[in-house]
Amino acid sequence: MRKEEQFKQKLLVMKEDTSHRISAIDRDIKHEGMTADWAEQATERENDEVLESLGNTAELELIMINNALKRIEQGSYFSCSLCGQDIPVARLELLPFSSHCVSCASDLEH
Ligand SMILES: [Zn+2]
């Protein structure tokens, strides 16, 4: 199997996983089939905030995964989207949805 194909499979699994996580969080936020008294509703509102931020993280991750899949289709998966240099395979194995080389990524963080 080509290296690109391996990453694609990995990303598709992650995508599946993340989508499930998002829909589970959405279900929790909507409290389907749940009845609550006032005290419970207050706790649930606090939980909702936590859930929402988890949901946002998951959604962001999904965007990055989709972006990486697009980059595989375009054949640009292994090059940095900023400077065009090769992204080390070891880095992609750790972060399959990263689209920057090590030095650009650290530039972005600072
Ligand atoms: Zn770069």
Q: Name the DSSP class of 79.
A: B
Question: What pLDDT shows up at residue 36?
Answer: 61
84 CA distance to ligand 1 middle (Å): 6
What tokens appear for 100 in the block? 């920057």
**Secondary structure (3-state) at 28:** helix
Cβ distance 3 to 89 under 8 Å? yes
Q: Which pLDDT value is given to residue 34?
A: 60
Per-residue pLDDT tens over the stretch 87-110 = 999 999 999 999 999 999 999 888
**Which stretches of the chain score pLDDT less than 70?**
1, 32-36, 38
Give the per-residue pLDDT at 53: 93
Determine the distance separating the centroid of ligand 1 and the alpha carbon of 24, expressed in angstroms: 35
Ligand 1 centroid–CA 77 distance in Å is: 12
- The DSSP secondary structure of 73-100, one letter per residue, reads HTT-TTB-TTT-PBPPHHHHHH-TT--S
Q: How far is CA 90 from CA 70, 78, 101, in A?
A: 20, 11, 11
